[in-house]
Amino acid sequence: MTQGKILATNKSNNGPDVQPMPPPPPAYEEAVAGESPCYSGVYSGDAEMLTEFSWDDQNIRRIFVRKVYTILMLQLSVTIAFVALFVFCEPVKTYIQSNPGWYWASYAVFFVTYLTLSCCRGPRRQFPWNMILLVIFTLSLSYMTGMLSSFYNTKSVIICLGITALVCLTITIFSFHTKFDITSCRGVLVVFCTTLFICGIIMVFILPFGYVPWLQTVYAALAAILFCMFLAFDTQMLMGSKRYTISPEEYIFATLSLYLDIVYIFSFFLQLFGTGERN
């Protein structure tokens, strides 16, 4: 009431050109009395997928992590089912090994869906298209993994599955509890990945001639280490307690990254410790 009289007095004394005084800021009780800010506004359509922010609401974090790992477990279950079918069922194993065209067809589907989910924000965030693409991606990569496993001894495949599960569980627990910020080492991972990519291209021309027999083993070991580092990196990106994190809207991309890391770790472990079927 007193404030209104002061504004009226100032307006009458100084003329109509003088602007009224702005209202004072609300008190602390009035500011905190309203609803908490909506998190959906923080991640608008133009927001970056990798952000630097503090995840204040622990409930949002738990829901996001639970959703990602639920989808991931379903993906891994499908992949293990494909591996078991292609390894234990002899007619299926014989058919897929005698028809490599299905492998290259699944690789093409895998590559297209991976680029779509990784690079296109619309399909990745729009339900149900994101789930449909993720299912297609999972089936194609599971077929490729199952066909790769069919060329190895059954016991070695089971051993590599156990090693992969143990390693991934250890890395996940370590990433959740360590104080070291692995997300700050993005540059190291990029350099490591680029180096292995160039070495892989060179190996395409070297291995057929058999110049360095042990080169493929060394490459598989380094690639397994790289994707173990990527698994720790992606896990901490999922947690949201480090410098860089993934937006809660990007649960498809988070699931995609973790699933791809685990499958690649298994594939390189299979090249390291697996025994050929003919041996």
How crowded is residue 95: how many other Cβ atoms within 10 Å of its Cβ? 13
| pLDDT grade for 21, boundaries at 50, 70 and 90 | low
The 10s digit of each residue's pLDDT in 94-129 is 888 888 888 899 999 999 998 888 887 777 788 888
| pLDDT for res 243 | 67
Least confident interval from 5-19, 27-41, 58-72, 161-175: 27-41
Contact of 160 with 269, CB cutoff 8 Å: yes
Q: Percent of the chain beyond pLDDT 90? A: 21
Query: What span, in angstroms and rounded, lies between the C-alpha atoms of 268 and 227?
Result: 9
Using 50, 70 and 90 to split pLDDT, how confident is the model at 31? very low
Task: Flag the least confident range among 77-86, 107-116, 160-169, 231-240.
Answer: 231-240
pLDDT at 145 over 80: yes
Q: Compute the radius of gyration of the chain from its Cα atoms.
A: 27
Q: How is residue 247 written in tokens?
A: 């937006």
Res 217: pLDDT: 81
pLDDT interval class at 20 (50, 70, 90): low
DSSP for residue 19: P
- Residue of 229, 203, 223 whose CA lies nearest to 266: 223
Distance of CA 13 to the CA centre of its chain: 66
CA dihedral 58, 60, 62, 64 (to 10 degrees): -150
Q: Which helix (H) or strand (E) holds 257?
A: helix 251-273
Q: What is the pLDDT of residue 248?
A: 74
Per-residue model confidence (pLDDT) at position 208? 64
pLDDT for position 154? 86
pLDDT band at 80 (very low <50, low <70, confident <90, very high): very high
Cα–Cα distance between 49 and 206 in angstroms, integer? 39
Highest mean pLDDT among 74-83, 124-133, 206-215: 74-83
Is pTM beyond 0.85 here? no
Residue 62: pLDDT band by 50, 70, 90 thresholds?
confident
pLDDT tens by residue, 223-260: 888 899 889 888 888 876 666 677 777 788 888 889 99
Q: Could you tell me what percentage of the chain is helix, strand and coil, using 3-state DSSP and rounding each to the nearest 5?
A: 75, 0, 25
Contact yes or no for 114/139 (Cβ under 8 A): no
| Nearest in space to 244 (alpha carbons), one of 256, 259, 257, 233 | 233
CA 255 to chain centre: 5
Annotate 157-172 with b (16+ C-beta within 10 A) or e (fewer).
bebbbebbeebbeebb
* DSSP structural state of residue 276: B
Q: Give the integer Cα–Cα distance in Å for 157 and 155.
A: 5
pLDDT of residue 109: 92
Q: Which structure tokens are listed for 224? A: 């397994």
Mean pLDDT of the chain: 76
- Is the torsion defined by CA of 156, 161, 164, 165 positive or negative? negative
**pLDDT, greater one: 54 or 80:** 80
CA distances from 135 to 14, 113, 114, 272 (A): 71, 10, 11, 29
Q: If you count them, how many residues does the chain have?
A: 279
Q: In 3-state terms, what secondary structure has residue 131? A: helix
For residue 166, name the pLDDT band (cuts at 50, 70, 90): very high
